[in-house]
Amino acid sequence: MRITFIAAALVLLAACPTPDRNRDESTAGPPQTTTATGNPQTIPENSTAMNPVAAPQSANKGAQPPAPAAPAVHVQLTEYAIEMPDTLTAGTHPFTITNAGTMKHNFAIEGPGVQQKLASDLMRGDSAPMTLTLQKGSYTVYCPVDGHRGRGMQRTITVQ
């Protein structure tokens, strides 16, 4: 029985490859995969659904390239002052409104085709976005909180 066991062990050892001492084991394993294979965009039938393909340039003849995005208009609210540019260009602008004061404030704007204010007041240090499409003309910006406008927290800006 002992000989049978030894013979079986020798057969198994003979079937196993002998490690090559000069071989780099870091490259001996199976190829490694990346998470990209789990990306639904790598499946051809999903790629156009995830990222629609734009029409070839020849099909867009006469079409204007999209206008570059306007830089954000930074508005800073403090006690009874609104700091922002005096003049803006006509078009769509993203606004970033920040309360740099110690009291709560808000931001309202009225002018050609626009009458809008922030949905909620800003507490000290808070910021909020607002996107506006402005036409040429004059606009009044002010703080509609607790009589702040009457205390001088308003100004006129020009859109050209």
The pLDDT of residue 146: 94
Rama region for 80: left / alpha / beta (φ>0; ψ in -120 to 50; rest):
left
Query: Would the pTM of this model clear 0.85, i.e. be above it?
Result: no
Question: What are the residue ranges spanned by the domains of the chain?
Answer: 73-159
Measured CA to CA, the distance from residue 63 to residue 61 in angstroms comes to 6
Domain 73-159 has CATH 3.40.50.1980: no
Burial readout 52-91 (b: 16 or more C-beta within 10 A, e: otherwise): eeeeeeeeeeeeeeeeeeeeebebbbbebbbebeeebeee
Question: Per-residue confidence at 36, pLDDT binned at 50, 70, 90?
Answer: very low
